[in-house]
């Protein structure tokens, strides 16, 4: 189990013996060097925070590993074709969609109520009403791009708030109205992204599509950073074309999110520019990070290993 956080490691230590799994835990990411830890094992598990280099996959193949699980739904940090070429099957692990859905709704509400600016002023002792008033979800149309497990959970929450909801997906999977992507962009006051990152969805919201959004629209991204063209987003925010953004993921977040950089410069110019904008909220890829979701991730990772032996996992 590579890249284990302290919370994950604690869960693995409790659940692995119950399932009859002998787990080697390390906080180190998978690399050509650490791949040797897996010699003699069929299964390994990696975190989503660190890209997996080809050299590490090749080393795993030489060590006899045949299955790799990423403790995430997305697998864009792994070269799937190369893994297959060295005899390794890659799979994601499902977890509670409510974790990311709750976080998404929180970000939407914070953006609509200008929460970042309000908190900043209040912390400095300024308790006056200032700036534009907030907006209520029941008065707005929210476009949900990607209506899988997480997107559908977001839709359910939005409908509970009385919002008008439009969805766009390769197949209709929620109770909201399914429309073409261009229609969703044109009519939505808030756009939230929940589609997987693939070569076809990279920069799904590019400069052209961002230019088609309603004036003052808010963009929310809790999927993957590269779904958004960050340079185009910054430009639209700077010009006032967009009313705000709330981002839990960001292009180039690797090596920055999950690191303590209080005493070091942040080598990401666009992130620094976004952080300087009062209408932008950034959280460091923590949408999934709840006790329930972590337990799901660990349990489902171990259960997947057990199923390789033809056993029925019981925790």
* Residue 277: pLDDT band with limits 50, 70, 90: very high
- Identify whether 1 is part of a domain: no
Whole-angstrom distance, CA of residue 196 vs CA of residue 211: 22
Verify that 117 and 159 share a domain, yes or no.
yes
Number of other residues whose CB lies within 10 A of the CB of residue 238 = 11
- Identify whether 313 is part of a domain: no
Which of 290, 291, 315 shows the shortest CA–CA distance to 305? 315
Whole-angstrom distance, CA of residue 129 vs CA of residue 19: 56
* Residue 313: pLDDT band with limits 50, 70, 90: low
Structure tokens at 66: 């045949």
Verify that 75 and 134 share a domain, yes or no.
no
What integer is the mean pLDDT of 106-134? 94
Which of 218, 223, 266, 227 shows the shortest CA–CA distance to 246? 218
Verify that 261 and 304 share a domain, yes or no.
no
Verify that 13 and 87 share a domain, yes or no.
yes
Verify that 92 and 112 share a domain, yes or no.
no
Structure tokens at 25: 């835990």
Judged against a pLDDT cut of 60, whether residue 17 lies above it is answered with yes
Is 203 a catalytic site residue?
no
pLDDT score for 130: 81
Q: Which of 8, 251, 253, 299 is catalytic?
A: 253
Q: How many domains does the chain have?
A: 2
Is 224 a catalytic site residue?
yes
CATH assignment at residue 142? 3.40.50.720
Q: Which of 224, 251, 268, 299 is catalytic?
A: 224
Verify that 177 and 255 share a domain, yes or no.
yes
Q: Which of 71, 114, 194, 285 is catalytic?
A: 285
Q: What is the DSSP string of the chain?
A: -TT--HHHHHHHHHHHHHTT------SSPP-TTGGGGGTT-SEEEE-SSS---HHHHHHHHHHT--EEEESSS--TTS-HHHHHHTT-EEEE----HHHHHHHHHHHHHHHHTTHHHHHHHHHTT--S--SSPP--GGG-EEEEE--SHHHHHHHHHHHHTT-EEEEE-SS--SSSEE--HHHHHHH-SEEEE-PPP-TTTTTSB-HHHHTTSPTT-EEEE-S-GGGB-HHHHHHHHHHTSS-EEEES--TT-TTTTTS--TTS----HHHHHHHT-TTEEE--S-TT-SHHHHHHHHHHHHHHHHHHTT-----
Verify that 86 and 225 share a domain, yes or no.
no
* Residue 171: pLDDT band with limits 50, 70, 90: confident
* Residue 311: pLDDT band with limits 50, 70, 90: low
* Residue 176: pLDDT band with limits 50, 70, 90: confident
* Residue 267: pLDDT band with limits 50, 70, 90: very high
Verify that 101 and 89 share a domain, yes or no.
no
- In which domain, by residue range, is 130 found? 97-282
Q: What percentage of the chain has pLDDT greater than the value 90?
A: 90
- Model's pTM, two decimal places? 0.93
Is 120 a catalytic site residue?
no
Whole-angstrom distance, CA of residue 221 vs CA of residue 2: 27
Structure tokens at 199: 């070569």
What integer is the mean pLDDT of 49-77? 95
Verify that 115 and 72 share a domain, yes or no.
no
Verify that 149 and 269 share a domain, yes or no.
yes
pLDDT score for 312: 62
Number of other residues whose CB lies within 10 A of the CB of residue 162 = 11
Summary mean pLDDT of the chain: 94
* Residue 64: pLDDT band with limits 50, 70, 90: very high
pLDDT score for 209: 98
- Identify whether 248 is part of a domain: yes
Verify that 218 and 254 share a domain, yes or no.
yes
- Identify whether 256 is part of a domain: yes
Q: What is the largest CA-CA distance in the chain?
A: 64
Instruction: Give the pairing type, strands 164-168 and 141-145.
Output: parallel
Least confident of 66-70, 79-83, 174-178: 174-178
CB 251 within 8 A of CB 225: yes
Whole-angstrom distance, CA of residue 116 vs CA of residue 84: 45
Verify that 202 and 269 share a domain, yes or no.
yes
- Identify whether 261 is part of a domain: yes
C-alpha distances out from residue 281 to 28, 276, 302, Å: 30, 10, 35
Tell whether the torsion through CA atoms of 159, 165, 170 and 171 is positive or negative: positive
């Amino acid at each position: 189990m590579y890249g284990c956080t302290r919370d994950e490691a604690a869960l693995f230590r409790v659940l692995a013996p119950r399932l009859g799994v002998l787990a080697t835990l390390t906080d180190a990411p998978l690399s050509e060097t650490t791949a040797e830890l897996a010699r003699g094992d069929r299964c390994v598990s990696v975190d989503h925070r660190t890209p997996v280099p080809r050299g590490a996959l090749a080393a795993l193949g030489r060590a006899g590993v045949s299955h790799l699980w990423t403790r995430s739904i997305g697998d864009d940090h792994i070269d799937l074709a190369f893994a297959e070429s060295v005899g390794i099957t890659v799979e994601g692990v499902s977890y509670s969609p409510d974790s990311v859905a709750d976080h998404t709704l929180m970000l939407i509400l914070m953006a609509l109520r200008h929460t970042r600016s309000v908190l900043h002023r209040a912390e400095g002792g300024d308790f006056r009403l200032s700036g534009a008033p907030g907006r209520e979800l029941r008065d707005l149309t929210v476009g949900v791009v990607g209506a899988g497990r997480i997107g559908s959970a977001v839709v359910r929450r939005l409908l509970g708030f009385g919002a008008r909801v439009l969805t766009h997906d390769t197949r209709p999977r929620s109770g909201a109205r399914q429309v073409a992507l261009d229609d969703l962009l044109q009519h939505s006051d808030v756009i939230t992204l929940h589609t997987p990152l693939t070569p076809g969805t990279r920069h799904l919201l590019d400069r052209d599509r961002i230019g088609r959004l309603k004036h003052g629209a808010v963009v929310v991204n809790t999927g993957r950073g590269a779904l958004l063209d960050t340079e185009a987003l910054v430009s639209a925010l700077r010009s006032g074309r967009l009313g705000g953004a709330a981002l839990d993921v960001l292009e180039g977040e690797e090596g920055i999110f999950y690191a303590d950089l209080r005493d070091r410069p942040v080598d990401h110019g666009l992130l620094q520019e976004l952080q300087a904008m009062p209408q932008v909220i950034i959280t460091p890829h923590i949408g999934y990070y709840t006790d329930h979701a972590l337990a799901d991730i660990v349990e489902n990772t171990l259960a997947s290993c057990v199923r390789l032996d033809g056993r029925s996992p019981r925790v």
